[in-house]
Chains A and B, each alone.
Chain A
């Protein structure tokens, strides 16, 4: 059988681990290692440039961990995690990883992972012969996505975001936001974030006097934030509470929050009641 060539990128901060993987992969004629990366930043850049079919990702790496790398990648490559930690397995499958290799793994175990990868690639090719499709989003319950009359209504987070939230241990929230700008990755600590603003399909992140655009629905992004610190004050705005200097009544049922740096953001009626609960 003539298998399609799978171009693979190996991401692991430990050289021996990359070497072992490359050695094992050498036995598979249809897999070609096109790059090895020793950290997450490099991985995001290289994978963006090369567009491989297959990525092997270590979880614990400097700066960006494996999950953060995956978050920043355009959908496409089949991802196989490899780590000594078994506690991330559930999370790995929730982000649509094809397989999860526990170090130390055997040649045979890697072989099984590659079989799954080939299967995934074949199914994708059959589904859309023209271009590989991104992973199918998890269906959102119809009731939740039904249009509402209330213009203030907040769309619920997507299925993926809810899964991600479910995988997060209780009481633990996103500590930083990652934004990819071309080949560069910006890491924004959550403490620095002033507010988030929905812009069509993007979220504009306002932090430390600068702003970044991130391709993600505001609801998904907000789902990972600590609800005690971040409040959705408006359909299009989520603000870090301690940034609010004061609230002003603007018109009937409509208020404006003035931030410490003088900027103003709108506060809707339901946003105001959420805010009141927390303040």
Chain B
């Protein structure tokens, strides 16, 4: 809908402007072919108000013909066509109006006079439409820059928020509590194991913080974080937690937003393997497919366990981060097939600079 039509106060202002134009037009008509003021006003003012509405149609034309390089000439041609069409519509409305007025009142004009009026109206009708088109283009440009600004701001806010959420989710207190409990149990039976787990936990936390502070990391860095995480969980779950990795070495050099996979893997443990008495295998896949990076996390789920609480939070977090940081065509797709759950990410493959396969300029 046209921005003026949805705001009565502005529309009123706009129509007042056209009222003024109508008066000026009446004066012009009097100069062009002498007649009484009342006749000139009765003819011109309603037509001016009508043309005010006609000129608003430039809005839709402007939107369909954006002024972008390469299409500018075409837009100008379309606008000129729109101007003559609008003027024609105007004249088309003016003719019966003039006929109506002259039939009821004496306009002081003969047929030839009316015809001259109409020709004048056609000529006069073109510039206002073009002015309207220019105003609309300006308005659209202003609105676009405003929206772009807002989008940038929004993206920044969302990114910041997502970062905070991710960090908080990373430092999942229950994960920490359970890990500490495992360490506690190892201290008595396997002091060396306890030491290793302390180191592993410290390493995991440090990596989380340092990766989380960056805009992009390589997939192999992200996978290294996931490995630290899984190593800790394997102490808790023992044989129940098995990992199957299928990582294409070429994919491992791609850049990805940080902390995207770890929450998915955590979900796979929390809502998948840990719900199963016998446990199961989490499969992590990454490969390049037609210039796109595909990453998938697959885990078994309990068939009886319906919707277990908390599933959405980690996933929602990943989805938001992917939306902000993953580029335009990044996608996440989650599906449950029988007793398997699969989360699949796809994004355009972005090879890290310095990698031999990177077609971009290599660092000197």
Q: Bound pair: A and B?
A: yes
Residue B358 at the A interface, CB < 8 A? no
Give the chain A neighbours of B305 by CB distance below 8 A.
Answer: 63
Q: Which residues of A are at the interface with B, using a C-beta cutoff of 8 A? A: 13-17, 19-20, 23, 38-39, 41, 60, 62-63, 84-85, 102-105, 175-176, 187, 189
Interface size band for B:
20 to 34
Residue B64 at the A interface, CB < 8 A? no
Give the residues from 301 to 319 in chain B that come closer than 8 angstroms, CB to CB, to chain A: 302, 304-307
Please determine whether B178 and A14 come into contact, CB atoms closer than 8 angstroms.
yes
Please determine whether B181 and A84 come into contact, CB atoms closer than 8 angstroms.
yes
Residue B274 at the A interface, CB < 8 A? yes
Please determine whether B174 and A85 come into contact, CB atoms closer than 8 angstroms.
yes
Give the secondary structure class of A's interface.
Answer: loop
Residue B103 at the A interface, CB < 8 A? no
- Least distance between A171 CB and chain B CB atoms (Å): 12
- Least distance between A11 CB and chain B CB atoms (Å): 13
Please determine whether A41 and B277 come into contact, CB atoms closer than 8 angstroms.
yes
- Least distance between B238 CB and chain A CB atoms (Å): 5
Give the residues from 254 to 275 in chain B that come closer than 8 angstroms, CB to CB, to chain A: 274-275
Please determine whether A17 and B182 come into contact, CB atoms closer than 8 angstroms.
yes
- Least distance between B68 CB and chain A CB atoms (Å): 51
Residue pairs across A and B with Cβ atoms less than 8 A apart, 13 shown, are: A14-B238, A16-B186, A17-B185, A19-B185, A20-B181, A20-B185, A62-B276, A63-B277, A102-B177, A103-B177, A104-B180, A175-B306, A187-B304
Among B184, B275, B276, B302, which residue has its beta carbon within 8 angstroms of that of A104?
B184
Please determine whether B189 and A103 come into contact, CB atoms closer than 8 angstroms.
no
- Point out which of B185, B276, B277 has the most chain A C-beta atoms below 10 A from its C-beta: B185
Known: A84-B178, A85-B174. A23 touches B275 (CB 8 A): no
Please determine whether A62 and B181 come into contact, CB atoms closer than 8 angstroms.
no
Complex alpha-carbon distance, A4 and B101, angstroms: 115
- Least distance between B336 CB and chain A CB atoms (Å): 16
- Least distance between A37 CB and chain B CB atoms (Å): 11
Please determine whether B302 and A84 come into contact, CB atoms closer than 8 angstroms.
no
Among B173, B188, B238, B240, which residue has its beta carbon within 8 angstroms of that of A20?
B188
A-B pairs, 5 with minimum CB distance: A20-B185, A84-B177, A16-B185, A103-B181, A104-B181
Complex alpha-carbon distance, A60 and B178, angstroms: 12
- Least distance between A81 CB and chain B CB atoms (Å): 14
Complex alpha-carbon distance, A189 and B305, angstroms: 9
Residue B235 at the A interface, CB < 8 A? yes
Please determine whether B177 and A39 come into contact, CB atoms closer than 8 angstroms.
no
- Least distance between A17 CB and chain B CB atoms (Å): 6
Give the chain A neighbours of B177 by CB distance below 8 A.
Answer: 84, 102-104
Known: A23-B189, A176-B306. A16 touches B277 (CB 8 A): no
- Chain A's closest residue to B238 (CB) is A15
Complex alpha-carbon distance, A15 and B279, angstroms: 13
Give the chain A neighbours of B304 by CB distance below 8 A.
Answer: 63, 176, 187, 189
Give the chain B neighbours of A104 by CB distance below 8 A.
Answer: 177, 180-181, 183-184
Complex alpha-carbon distance, A104 and B238, angstroms: 19
- Chain A's closest residue to B240 (CB) is A13
